[in-house]
Amino acid sequence: MIKKILIANRGAIASRIIRTCKRLGIATVAVYSEADKLSPYVSMADESYLLGGSRVDESYLNSEKIISIAKKANVDAIHPGYGFLSENAVFANQCEAEGITFIGPNSKVIKQMGDKVAARYAMQLAGVPIIPGTEQAVKSADEAISAARKIGYPVMLKAAAGGGGIGMQMVKDDAALEKAFTSNSERAKNFFGDGSMFIEKKVTHARHIEMQLLADHHGNIVHLFERECSIQRRNQKVIEEAPSPFIHKTTRQKMGEASVKAAKAINYTNAGTIEFLVDEEENFYFLEMNTRIQVEHGITEEVTGTDIVEEQIRIANGQKLAFNQSDLKLKGHAIEARIYAEDPVTFFPSPGKITTFKVPQGKQTRNELTVAENMTVTPFYDPMIGKLITKGQSRNEAIQQMNKALDDYVIEGIKSNLPMIKEIMKSVAFIAGNTPTTFVEDYYLPLTIKNKEE
């Protein structure tokens, strides 16, 4: 049984994992960089160890140092959280080789689903609908242009080896694709160590909807329904909600069944998420699989009453799922807003010292925080300050709770995207559930221009 876990991550997710471990009586080990030595999660853990410098390659991507600390601390398992090494098959394999339980799927599955081209092929074999695109990675701009002409513009240029919007760009013609290919390929190589790209048809007026999965080592797989994650900037999510206000019950059932079928086809275990693009007629297409816990997992927990981190640990312990699909029911509605240290119009990061920091409290409000008052948001990592989650018996009630919470949220000393979140929550389009992936461009940015003119 797992008695001691090292969290190979930082910030909000590290704190989140530690809280569940404390409740379960499991000892925790935190690792931190020079920039994070005063972060709240460091003191929350039972033990903490300095990884190295502030840069990610000196700290949170230093797998050898993390394994060394894990062995020194005599841990049973490592929880990778999200980002950093969470979908790194080499790191998972290192854990396996050292006899340390990796809280996630095995390294072979991570490798298979981490390669976006291989993942598309696996889903196609499993009978899951996929977006028209290249069968193999494209290695040059000329090859990309040739593929795009066959598929038909507009297309999405994507990194084959990564996600999170890195290396992703929509292009409408040959000239734009040629210009985008080199820069995006180089960016992908810097982040993922692989500059391979692939091309997909752009699905217009799409929704980004994902299905949360849990799978044990005994062949039991369930889905925990869907999350709507369509409101994005720079191809990264800003607001998520569960359930989706767009899809109908029959579509939800079909997407859930397809997701479970996909997980069974690749012998998946632990927590994972199948992401789909859904068109206006509710046709859905496989986008990617995240072989880890998601940033937005909290809203699923709120509407299902499930602690996903606890389930991850139980599965890693070899335990069977304590419930089946028929036991899971949707209860109410939950919304998450990601609060960032960034300019609310340009979306450029706004690092600096937070001089005043007050977060809303309440029974229907949940905060997952990366920082505290008088802390400095550094330029070294994602500038997320925290995640604000509100719940209601209905979507309207969850929105009302979010508006109240946002009114009580105070961040001073740096810029934040609080004005953006407030504007979106009160917009006619959001209230109506009209939230395609182009929401920010179609509705939010025009509002900022109008407000300036007034």
- For residues 60 and 144, membership in a common domain is answered with no
Residue 20 has pLDDT above 60, yes or no: yes
* Of 181-190, 336-345, 365-374, minimum mean pLDDT range: 181-190
Digit-coded pLDDT (tens) for 32-79? 999 999 999 999 999 999 999 999 999 999 999 999 999 999 999 999
Structure tokens at 279: 């068109």
Q: What's the sign of the alpha-carbon dihedral 449, 447, 296, 204?
A: negative
Query: What CATH code is carried by the domain that includes residue 326?
Result: 3.30.470.20
pLDDT at 187: 87
Residues 181 and 286 in one domain: no
pLDDT-based confidence at residue 139 (cuts at 50, 70, 90)? confident
Q: Rounded distance, CA 18 to CA 102, Å? A: 16
User: Does residue 330 carry a pLDDT above 60?
Assistant: yes
The model's confidence at residue 116, banded by pLDDT at 50, 70 and 90, is confident
Mean pLDDT, residues 375-394 taken together:
96
In a domain, 115, yes or no: no
Per-residue pLDDT at 449 = 61
State yes or no: pLDDT of 448 exceeds 90. Answer: no
My answer on whether 145 and 178 are in the same domain is: yes
Give residue 451's pLDDT band: very low, low, confident or very high (50, 70, 90).
Answer: low
User: What is the 3 state secondary structure string of the chain?
Assistant: CCCEEEECCCHHHHHHHHHHHHHHCCEEEEEEEHHHCCCHHHHHCCEEEEEECCCHHHCCCCHHHHHHHHHHCCCCEEECCCCCCCCCHHHHHHHHHCCCEECCCCHHHHHHHHCHHHHHHHHHHCCCCECCECCCCECCHHHHHHHHHHHCCCEEEEECCCCCCCCCEEECCHHHHHHHHHHHHHHHHHHHCCCCEEEEECCCCCEEEEEEEEECCCCCEEEEEEEEEEEEECCEEEEEEECCCCCCHHHHHHHHHHHHHHHHHCCCCEEEEEEEEECCCCCEEEEEEECCCCCCHHHHHHHHCCCHHHHHHHHHCCCCCCCCHHHCCCCCEEEEEEEECECCCCCCECCEECCEEECCCCCCEEEEECCCCCCEECCCCCCEEEEEEEEECCHHHHHHHHHHHHHCCEEECCCCCHHHHHHHHCCHHHHCCCCCCCHHHHHHHHHHHHHHHC
Domain that holds residue 23: 4-103
Of 201, 216, 238, which one is at a domain's C-terminal end? 201
Say which CATH number the domain at 153 has.
Answer: 3.30.1490.20
Mean pLDDT of 204-233: 97
The predicted pLDDT at position 119 comes to: 93
Residues belonging to the active site: 292
Asked whether residue 322 is assigned to any structural domain, the reply reads yes
218: pLDDT confidence band, cut at 50, 70 and 90? very high
Domain presence at residue 242: yes
Question: Same domain, yes or no, for 436 and 331?
Answer: yes
**Structural domain count of the chain:** 3
Other C-beta atoms within 10 Å of 23: how many?
Answer: 11
- Does residue 165 carry a pLDDT above 80? no
pLDDT at 31: 98
Mean pLDDT of 117-129: 92
Q: What is the mean pLDDT of residues 139-147?
A: 93
Mean pLDDT, the chain, rounded, equals 95
Q: What mean pLDDT is predicted for residues 11-25?
A: 98
Q: What confidence category does residue 452 fall into, taking pLDDT thresholds of 50, 70 and 90?
A: low
Query: Are 67 and 185 found together in one domain?
Result: no
The answer to the question of residue 315 being in a domain is yes
Based on the domain organization, do 255 and 300 belong to the same domain? yes
279 with 427, same domain: the answer is yes
Q: Return the pLDDT at 176.
A: 95
Among residues 84, 103, 122, the one where a domain terminates is 103
Residue 172 makes CB contacts below 8 A (sequence gap 6+) with: 153, 154
Residue type, 20: T
Task: Specify whether 152 is located in the same domain as 30.
Answer: no
- For residue 40, what is the domain's CATH number? 3.40.50.20
pTM of the model: 0.90
Say if residue 287 is in the same domain as residue 392. yes
User: How many CB atoms are located within 10 Å of the residue 395 CB?
Assistant: 18
Q: Choose between 439 and 165: higher pLDDT.
A: 439
Work out the percent of the chain whose per-residue pLDDT is above 70: 98
What digits encode the pLDDT tens for the residues 301-322? 999 999 999 999 999 999 999 9
Please give the pLDDT value at position 195: 87
246 and 154 within one domain: no
User: H/E element holding 222?
Assistant: strand 221-233
Q: So what's the pLDDT on residue 435?
A: 96
Give the pLDDT confidence score for residue 453 in this predicted structure: 55
Q: What percent of the chain has pLDDT over 90?
A: 89
Same domain, 182 and 217: no
* Residue 126 within a domain: no
- 114 falls within a domain: no
Q: pLDDT band for position 162 (50/70/90)?
A: confident
Residue 329 shares a structural domain with residue 377 = yes
235 is a domain residue: yes
